Chain A
Amino acid sequence: MTESFVVRSLERVVEIRLRGRAEELVDVARHAWSRCLTDEAPDGPPIDVRLRPRRPSSRSSTHVDGASAAAVLELLSQAVTLAGIEHGAGRLLMLHACGLADSTTGRTIVLAAPSGMGKSTAAVNLGRRWGYVSDETVALTPHGTVLSYPKPLSLIRDSRWKDQVSPDDLALVPSPAETRLAAVAILQRDPDGPTVIERVRRTEFVAHLAPHTSYFGRLAEPVHRLAELVDVDGGVVLRYADSEGLEHLVGALFEGQP
């Protein structure tokens, strides 16, 4: 027996096939991916998902083996993302970032940061005010369009595996149909530091931003592509102590300050 559903991951349309015991997770998984569900035909290999309690967990862009339901759901999130970024390699500029969009204009702020630096937390807190684009991967086409990827949010709870929570369950604002880049910023959280927007020289900002990309070296003229995202006056670093401060800074960015 196999249960399946289809989601969009950036420019890929991926069929997720839950096999054997994993098919019991189909309703939970489909709900978590509620904002990415699509009626489009899959355009590549499916992801085969299995729940096998006595085997090590593993994943690729075409398979997930999880030893528990929580493992299956987190690894599935990684596998779907991987399928999308592998497909976009060489064409899309893909950032490890949270994305938030103005629901009216589609202008999108991209907040880049390494894992554990608050991307998902920022998406949860700020996605109730601005449209939720992604909590992990934001991709830009060569024409400057931001691709929405409103995946389940990966939230740390008590267990080893992160919970995969539908943005619907968090009452996050839907991303508008068309989104374009307004600004890209790097997040720097410091609980004891000031809340401030800093400008960094464009070339230094590009060097700081490059590690937060996927398949960067596969792009044509990748450094130029990254530099095109950054204002000539320099790149933006948002230094903040808490989510309230970050909301204030992001609000200022949407208003075109500084």
Chain B
Amino acid sequence: MRVVLSADVRDMFVDADGTAAVLVGSRVLALPAVSAAVLAAVADRGTEGADPVQLWAEVRPALVDPPDEVTGQGGIADLIDRFVAEGLVSWMATE
């Protein structure tokens, strides 16, 4: 399974501190820096989608002070679950 950015995500502003504001549907959500980096990485993959297992390894080097609680696959899975609940991403089946 891979995750893809939801078509409901219409605009994303990433500030200099790494945090983001995202328009999803008719709501604007504020995202902390780690969430913003992960979502941006998903967005960069386009319709190809992103493998959750690879996401953290990809995002971590770009963060100044990555939090320990998101170091593992479980942390990323929780983050993706929250993204799905907020309508930011969706799962895409792979062969």
Which one of B5-13, B47-55, B60-68, B71-79 is at the interface?
B5-13
Q: Which of A207, A221, A232 contacts B28 (CB 8 A)?
A: A207
Query: B16 contacts A203, CB within 8 Å?
Result: no
What are 27 A-B pairs with beta-carbon distances under 8 A?
Answer: A201-B15, A201-B17, A201-B30, A203-B13, A203-B19, A203-B21, A204-B19, A204-B21, A206-B13, A206-B21, A206-B28, A207-B28, A210-B28, A211-B28, A216-B23, A217-B26, A221-B11, A222-B11, A223-B11, A223-B21, A223-B28, A224-B13, A226-B21, A226-B28, A227-B13, A227-B15, A232-B15
Note all chain A residues with C-beta closer than 8 A to B11: 221-224
| B17 nearest in chain A by CB position | A201
- The reply to whether A223 and B26 contact each other, CB–CB distance below 8 Å, is no
Contacts of A204 in B (CB 8 A): 19, 21, 30
Contacts of A201 in B (CB 8 A): 15, 17, 19, 30
Q: Mark A205-241, 1 if CB is under 8 A from B, else 0.
A: 0110011000011000111101100001000000000
Given known contacts A204-B30, A206-B30, A217-B10, A223 and B22 CB-to-CB distance under 8 angstroms: yes
- B57 interface residue, CB < 8 Å from A? no
B30 in contact with A207 (CB, 8 Å)? yes
Size of B's binding interface in residues, CB under 8 A: 18
Asked, given contacts A223-B11, A223-B12, A224-B13, whether A203 binds B30 with beta carbons under 8 Å apart, the answer is yes
**Which residues does A use to contact B, with CB under 8 Å?**
201-204, 206-207, 210-211, 216-217, 221-224, 226-227, 232
- Chain A residues, CB < 8 A from B12: 223
* In the complex, B1 has a CB within 8 A of chain A: no
List, in ascending order, chain A residues with CB within 8 A of B4's CB. none
**B20 proximal to A (CB < 8 A):** yes
Q: Which among A201, A207, A224 has the greatest number of chain B C-beta atoms within 10 A?
A: A207
Q: Does B40 contact A (CB under 8 A)?
A: no
**B20–A203 CB distance below 8 A:** yes
Cβ-based interface call for B92 (8 A): no
User: Which 10 A-B pairs rank lowest in CB-CB distance, beginning with the nearest?
Assistant: A210-B28, A207-B30, A206-B21, A203-B21, A223-B11, A203-B19, A204-B30, A223-B13, A227-B13, A207-B28
Instruction: Check B15–A203 contact: CB distance below 8 A.
Output: yes
- Shortest B93–chain A CB gap in Å is 30
Most chain A beta-carbon neighbours within 10 Å: one of B10, B22, B28: B28
**Cross-interface CB contact of A217 among B13, B17, B23, cutoff 8 Å:** B23
Q: Would you call B21 and A207 a contact (CB within 8 A)?
A: yes
For residue B64, give the distance in angstroms from its CB to the closest CB of chain A: 16
Q: Nearest residue in B to A221 (C-beta to C-beta)?
A: B11
